[in-house]
Amino acid sequence: MHNPPTAAEAEAHLRTLLADNEMPQPDEVLHHPAEVVFLFHEKKLAVTVELTDGWLDNATAVRADAWGDP
């Protein structure tokens, strides 16, 4: 079993995922003990990442183009 990621690791992971897919970076990031919240002000969007043991080590595992056919 893996240790949950730190808030800094989760933030770096999402920022890399966004950059790799040419998507905008968040306007604000809030670190909480069990989650990280990414705020996109213009779109009025919040993305919450829970810091759990089920964390994926491979960033490509969550890329839409890596999912393949259902």
Q: What pLDDT, on the 0 to 100 scale, is given for residue 48?
A: 92
In a domain, 47, yes or no: yes
In a domain, 69, yes or no: no
- In a domain? residue 32: yes
Say what percent of the chain tops pLDDT 90: 51
pLDDT at position 11 is 95
Number of domains the chain contains: 1
* 2 falls within a domain: no
The reply to whether 1 falls in a domain is: no
What pLDDT, in 10s, does the model give residues 38-52? 999 999 999 998 888
Range of the domain at 18: 7-64
Domain membership of residue 13 (yes or no) is: yes
- Of residues 5 and 39, more confidence is placed in 39
pLDDT band of 4, cuts 50, 70, 90: confident
Q: What's the predicted TM-score (pTM) here?
A: 0.72
Structure tokens at 64: 């839409």
